[in-house]
Structure 1
Amino acid sequence: MFKEFKKFILTGNVIDLAIAVLLAGAIGLVVKGFVGDIMMPIIGQFTGGMNFADLKFVLSPAVLDAEGAITIAENAIMYGNWINSIINLIIVGFVLFMIVKGYNKTKKKQEEAAPAPAGPSDNDLLSEIRDLLKK
Structure 2
Amino acid sequence: MLKEFKEFAMKGNVLDLAIGVIIGGAFGKIVTSLVNDVIMPLLGLVIGGINFTYLSFTLKAAEGDKKAVILNCGQFIQNIIDFLIISFSIFMVVKLLNKFKRKQEVIEEKKEAAPSKEELLLTEIRDLLKEASK
Q: TM-score, normalised by structure 1?
A: 0.70
Corresponding position of 1:54: 54
SS of 1:116's equivalent? Answer: helix
Q: 1:26 to 1:74 in 2, by over 3 A?
A: farther
Tell me the C-alpha RMSD between the 2 structures: 2.5
Matches within 5 A, 1:75-90: 76-90=70-84
One-letter amino acid of the structure 2 residue matched with residue 43 of structure 1: L
Tell me by how many angstroms 1:4 deviates: 1.0
Q: Percent identity over the alignment?
A: 43
SS of 1:24's equivalent? Answer: helix
Flag structure 2 segments of 5+ consecutive residues without an equivalent.
116-134
Q: TM-score, normalised by structure 2?
A: 0.71
One-letter amino acid of the structure 2 residue matched with residue 37 of structure 1: D
Corresponding position of 1:103: 97
Tell me by how many angstroms 1:62 deviates: 7.4
Flag structure 1 segments of 5+ consecutive residues without an equivalent.
64-71, 120-135
Corresponding position of 1:31: 31
Tell me by how many angstroms 1:47 deviates: 0.8
Corresponding position of 1:19: 19
1:112 paired residue among 97, 106, 118? 106
Count of residues paired in the alignment: 113
Supply the distance in 2 between the matched residues of 1:25 and 1:11 (Cα, whole angstroms): 22
One-letter amino acid of the structure 1 residue matched with residue 7 of structure 2: K
Supply the distance in 1 between the matched residues of 2:4 and 2:68 (Cα, whole angstroms): 54
Write 1 or 2 for the structure with the bigger share of helix: 2
